[in-house]
Amino acid sequence: MNPNNLNLYIVDDDQPMRKSLGALFHARLDGIAVQSFESGESFLENAHLDASGVAILDLRLDDVSGQLGRMNGLEIFRALKDRQSPLVVIFLSGHGTLPEAVKAIQDGAVDWLQKPCSEDAMLTTVLAAKNKAMVIAARRRAERNGREKWEKLTEREREIAPLVAQGPSAKEIAQVLTRKDPNHPIDHRTVESHRARVFAKLEVANAPELQRFLTEHFTRLT
């Protein structure tokens, strides 16, 4: 799958609205896969919530099934936040009030649109959300790549990596490790071997590059 391809979800109880938006996005946007849902429950059950993308949520979903207790857009949004979904959210509603809109934006929604809105306004907002979703997707790929590299290191290599990143010589690192654990002394040639393997596994060329890797990834890897 092309990493630039993203899911775009429409969650709205209004079937004509779902069809209209779906047709608009298929005709005017590239690199997206559009799916529509009439309820929040169906969306949360069937959508790829752990993948980057965009979700357009009707702020207030009517109960088309005749049953009480259907989720509204804010409740769906909270469910996405609870599971740390990377989906970028846009709220859409003909019933929205200013306080609800402000609260939605403060809680992390990228935008809020009032029904009816123009095609240009909708496309502009969705494109901005798509761009944000692509940034999130790229960051998640980088995090996953960093974790996979780090997990290739042995326990000893993980111990040595932060020391190597600080720039001391192999002899100095050997002295530090030996003082730390006198029962298991290590010489500088062994440190050099570990350092070479750390560089190879993490795909860095030198200590400054290793330091950048650790700065970017270390808090998520430990």
Q: Give the confidence band of 201 by pLDDT, cuts at 50, 70, 90.
A: very high
Q: Could you name the CATH architecture of 152-221?
A: Orthogonal Bundle (1.10)
Average pLDDT over every residue of 48-64: 83
Give 66's pLDDT tier (boundaries 50, 70, 90): very low
Q: Using 50, 70 and 90 to split pLDDT, how confident is the model at 101?
A: low
Paired tokens of 3:
């990493």
CA 44, chain centre distance (Å): 17
Confidence at 61, pLDDT banded by 50, 70, 90? confident
Q: Which of 89-103, 125-139, 186-200 has the lowest mean pLDDT?
A: 89-103
Predicted TM-score (pTM) of the model is: 0.73
Q: What is the pLDDT of residues 140-183, one digit of tens each?
A: 888 899 999 999 999 999 999 999 999 999 999 999 999 999 99
The pLDDT, as a whole number, for residue 222 is: 43
Give domain limits for the chain: 6-142, 152-221
Q: d(Cα 112, Cα 61) in Å, to the nearest integer?
A: 15
- Report the distance separating Cα 144 and Cα 52, nearest Å: 14
Q: At what angle do helices 207-221 and 155-165 cross, to 10 degrees?
A: 120
Give yes or no for residue 199 having a pLDDT over 60: yes
CATH architecture of 6-142: 3-Layer(aba) Sandwich (3.40)
For residue range 70-85, what is the model confidence (pLDDT) as tens digits?
Answer: 788 888 998 999 999 9
